[in-house]
Structure 1
Protein backbone atom coordinates (compact mmCIF):
# COMPACT_ATOMS: atom_id res chain seq x y z
CA UNK A 1 0.00 0.00 0.00
CA UNK A 2 1.22 3.45 -0.83
CA UNK A 3 1.73 5.86 2.03
CA UNK A 4 -0.02 9.12 1.45
CA UNK A 5 -1.71 11.78 3.53
CA UNK A 6 -5.32 12.49 2.59
CA UNK A 7 -7.74 13.19 5.43
CA UNK A 8 -10.97 11.27 5.02
CA UNK A 9 -14.15 10.32 6.85
CA UNK A 10 -15.58 6.90 6.05
CA UNK A 11 -18.35 4.46 6.88
CA UNK A 12 -17.78 0.73 7.12
CA UNK A 13 -20.73 -1.69 7.24
CA UNK A 14 -21.29 -5.33 8.13
CA UNK A 15 -23.91 -5.71 5.38
CA UNK A 16 -26.64 -3.67 3.72
CA UNK A 17 -28.63 -1.91 6.47
CA UNK A 18 -26.43 -3.70 9.01
CA UNK A 19 -24.08 -2.39 11.65
CA UNK A 20 -22.18 0.74 10.59
CA UNK A 21 -19.02 2.41 11.84
CA UNK A 22 -17.93 6.00 11.18
CA UNK A 23 -14.20 6.71 11.27
CA UNK A 24 -11.58 9.26 10.29
CA UNK A 25 -8.10 8.64 8.92
CA UNK A 26 -5.22 10.24 7.06
CA UNK A 27 -4.68 7.14 4.86
CA UNK A 28 -7.99 5.64 3.73
CA UNK A 29 -6.69 2.66 1.69
CA UNK A 30 -4.47 1.50 4.55
CA UNK A 31 -7.16 1.97 7.20
CA UNK A 32 -9.86 0.15 5.23
CA UNK A 33 -7.42 -2.70 4.54
CA UNK A 34 -6.83 -2.98 8.30
CA UNK A 35 -10.58 -3.17 8.96
CA UNK A 36 -11.15 -5.72 6.16
CA UNK A 37 -8.40 -8.01 7.41
CA UNK A 38 -9.44 -7.75 11.06
CA UNK A 39 -6.14 -6.12 12.03
CA UNK A 40 -7.87 -3.43 14.10
CA UNK A 41 -9.15 -4.61 17.47
CA UNK A 42 -12.41 -3.04 18.54
CA UNK A 43 -15.87 -2.25 17.22
CA UNK A 44 -15.37 -3.04 13.52
CA UNK A 45 -13.73 -6.38 14.22
CA UNK A 46 -16.38 -7.39 16.80
CA UNK A 47 -19.27 -6.43 14.51
CA UNK A 48 -17.82 -7.57 11.17
CA UNK A 49 -17.76 -4.12 9.56
CA UNK A 50 -15.55 -4.97 6.58
CA UNK A 51 -17.26 -3.18 3.69
CA UNK A 52 -16.43 0.43 2.80
CA UNK A 53 -19.81 1.88 1.81
CA UNK A 54 -19.17 5.65 1.95
CA UNK A 55 -16.26 8.06 2.21
CA UNK A 56 -15.55 11.75 1.92
CA UNK A 57 -12.12 13.33 1.37
CA UNK A 58 -11.13 16.54 3.17
CA UNK A 59 -8.47 19.21 2.74
CA UNK A 60 -7.41 19.13 6.39
CA UNK A 61 -7.57 16.68 9.26
CA UNK A 62 -9.41 19.33 11.30
CA UNK A 63 -12.25 19.39 8.75
CA UNK A 64 -12.33 15.59 8.61
CA UNK A 65 -12.53 15.29 12.40
CA UNK A 66 -15.31 17.90 12.56
CA UNK A 67 -17.28 15.98 9.92
CA UNK A 68 -16.73 12.67 11.73
CA UNK A 69 -18.11 14.19 14.94
CA UNK A 70 -21.10 15.55 13.03
CA UNK A 71 -21.87 12.12 11.55
CA UNK A 72 -21.34 10.27 14.83
CA UNK A 73 -23.66 12.74 16.55
CA UNK A 74 -26.37 12.25 13.93
CA UNK A 75 -29.04 9.60 13.77
CA UNK A 76 -28.65 6.16 12.21
CA UNK A 77 -31.36 7.17 9.73
CA UNK A 78 -29.21 10.06 8.50
CA UNK A 79 -26.16 7.81 8.10
CA UNK A 80 -28.18 5.27 6.12
CA UNK A 81 -29.60 8.06 3.93
CA UNK A 82 -26.08 9.33 3.25
CA UNK A 83 -24.95 5.85 2.17
CA UNK A 84 -28.07 5.29 0.04
CA UNK A 85 -27.66 8.67 -1.71
CA UNK A 86 -24.11 7.94 -2.88
CA UNK A 87 -24.05 4.15 -2.95
CA UNK A 88 -27.62 2.78 -3.27
CA UNK A 89 -26.47 -0.81 -3.82
CA UNK A 90 -24.06 -0.70 -0.85
CA UNK A 91 -21.24 -1.97 -3.05
CA UNK A 92 -17.76 -2.21 -1.55
CA UNK A 93 -15.84 0.94 -2.53
CA UNK A 94 -12.41 -0.43 -1.56
CA UNK A 95 -11.33 -1.05 -5.16
CA UNK A 96 -12.16 2.56 -6.06
CA UNK A 97 -9.84 4.02 -3.43
CA UNK A 98 -6.99 1.67 -4.34
CA UNK A 99 -7.06 2.42 -8.07
Structure 2
Protein backbone atom coordinates (compact mmCIF):
# COMPACT_ATOMS: atom_id res chain seq x y z
CA UNK A 1 0.00 0.00 0.00
CA UNK A 2 1.22 3.50 -0.84
CA UNK A 3 2.53 5.74 1.93
CA UNK A 4 1.38 8.80 -0.06
CA UNK A 5 -1.92 9.72 1.64
CA UNK A 6 -3.62 10.97 -1.54
CA UNK A 7 -2.63 7.83 -3.45
CA UNK A 8 -3.90 5.69 -0.58
CA UNK A 9 -7.25 7.52 -0.63
CA UNK A 10 -7.54 7.16 -4.41
CA UNK A 11 -6.71 3.45 -4.14
CA UNK A 12 -9.39 3.10 -1.44
CA UNK A 13 -12.04 4.70 -3.69
CA UNK A 14 -10.81 2.68 -6.66
CA UNK A 15 -11.46 -0.55 -4.75
CA UNK A 16 -15.06 0.52 -4.11
CA UNK A 17 -15.56 1.56 -7.74
CA UNK A 18 -14.36 -1.79 -9.07
CA UNK A 19 -16.38 -3.84 -6.60
CA UNK A 20 -13.34 -4.91 -4.57
CA UNK A 21 -15.07 -4.22 -1.26
CA UNK A 22 -12.91 -6.59 0.81
CA UNK A 23 -9.75 -4.85 -0.43
CA UNK A 24 -11.19 -1.44 0.49
CA UNK A 25 -12.22 -2.62 3.96
CA UNK A 26 -8.79 -4.23 4.48
CA UNK A 27 -7.20 -0.77 4.09
CA UNK A 28 -8.96 0.38 7.29
CA UNK A 29 -7.40 -0.08 10.72
CA UNK A 30 -9.04 -2.56 13.10
CA UNK A 31 -10.22 0.33 15.29
CA UNK A 32 -11.17 2.77 12.51
CA UNK A 33 -13.57 5.62 13.30
CA UNK A 34 -15.66 5.75 10.12
CA UNK A 35 -17.65 8.97 9.78
CA UNK A 36 -20.02 8.71 6.83
CA UNK A 37 -22.36 11.71 6.94
CA UNK A 38 -25.35 11.61 7.42
CA UNK A 39 -25.06 8.22 9.16
CA UNK A 40 -23.87 7.71 12.76
CA UNK A 41 -20.14 7.15 13.28
CA UNK A 42 -19.00 3.53 13.05
CA UNK A 43 -16.11 2.17 15.11
CA UNK A 44 -14.20 -0.90 13.95
CA UNK A 45 -13.34 -2.43 10.59
CA UNK A 46 -15.85 -5.30 10.86
CA UNK A 47 -18.64 -2.87 11.79
CA UNK A 48 -17.85 -0.83 8.66
CA UNK A 49 -17.98 -4.04 6.59
CA UNK A 50 -21.36 -4.94 8.15
CA UNK A 51 -22.75 -1.44 7.54
CA UNK A 52 -21.90 -1.56 3.83
CA UNK A 53 -23.08 -5.15 3.45
CA UNK A 54 -26.41 -4.33 5.18
CA UNK A 55 -26.75 -1.16 3.05
CA UNK A 56 -26.33 -3.30 -0.08
CA UNK A 57 -23.06 -1.92 -1.45
CA UNK A 58 -21.67 -4.53 -3.80
CA UNK A 59 -24.93 -6.47 -3.99
CA UNK A 60 -28.00 -4.26 -4.44
CA UNK A 61 -25.93 -1.17 -5.26
CA UNK A 62 -22.61 -0.57 -6.94
CA UNK A 63 -20.83 2.74 -6.65
CA UNK A 64 -18.95 5.15 -8.87
CA UNK A 65 -17.14 7.63 -6.66
CA UNK A 66 -15.29 10.22 -8.76
CA UNK A 67 -12.77 12.36 -6.89
CA UNK A 68 -12.90 15.89 -8.30
CA UNK A 69 -10.45 17.56 -5.88
CA UNK A 70 -7.93 16.05 -3.45
CA UNK A 71 -5.30 17.51 -1.12
CA UNK A 72 -3.29 16.31 1.85
CA UNK A 73 -1.66 17.93 4.87
CA UNK A 74 0.47 15.34 6.61
CA UNK A 75 -1.62 12.19 6.91
CA UNK A 76 -4.98 13.99 6.57
CA UNK A 77 -6.63 13.89 3.14
CA UNK A 78 -9.46 16.17 2.08
CA UNK A 79 -11.38 15.27 -1.03
CA UNK A 80 -14.45 16.35 -2.92
CA UNK A 81 -16.28 13.61 -4.79
CA UNK A 82 -19.24 13.01 -6.97
CA UNK A 83 -20.78 9.87 -5.51
CA UNK A 84 -23.07 7.88 -7.78
CA UNK A 85 -24.93 4.89 -6.35
CA UNK A 86 -26.10 2.52 -9.03
CA UNK A 87 -29.09 0.32 -8.33
CA UNK A 88 -29.57 -2.68 -10.57
CA UNK A 89 -27.69 -2.84 -13.84
CA UNK A 90 -24.99 -0.26 -14.60
CA UNK A 91 -26.37 2.82 -16.46
CA UNK A 92 -24.16 2.04 -19.43
CA UNK A 93 -26.56 -0.86 -19.99
CA UNK A 94 -29.54 1.55 -19.83
CA UNK A 95 -31.28 0.09 -16.76
CA UNK A 96 -31.39 0.76 -13.04
CA UNK A 97 -31.17 4.29 -11.65
CA UNK A 98 -28.54 6.82 -10.61
CA UNK A 99 -28.45 8.61 -7.26
CA UNK A 100 -25.61 11.17 -7.59
CA UNK A 101 -24.48 13.50 -4.79
CA UNK A 102 -21.50 15.79 -4.24
CA UNK A 103 -19.47 14.87 -1.15
CA UNK A 104 -16.57 16.42 0.71
CA UNK A 105 -14.71 14.04 3.01
CA UNK A 106 -11.64 13.97 5.23
CA UNK A 107 -9.46 10.88 5.73
CA UNK A 108 -6.52 10.38 8.04
CA UNK A 109 -5.00 8.75 11.10
CA UNK A 110 -5.95 9.77 14.60
Greater share of residues in strand: 2
Structure with the larger RCO, 1 or 2 (CA within 8 Å, 6+ apart): 1
Q: Same fold (TM over 0.5)?
A: no
Q: TM-score, normalised by structure 1?
A: 0.31
Higher helix share: 1
Query: Larger C-alpha radius of gyration, 1 or 2?
Result: 2
Q: TM-score, normalised by structure 2?
A: 0.29
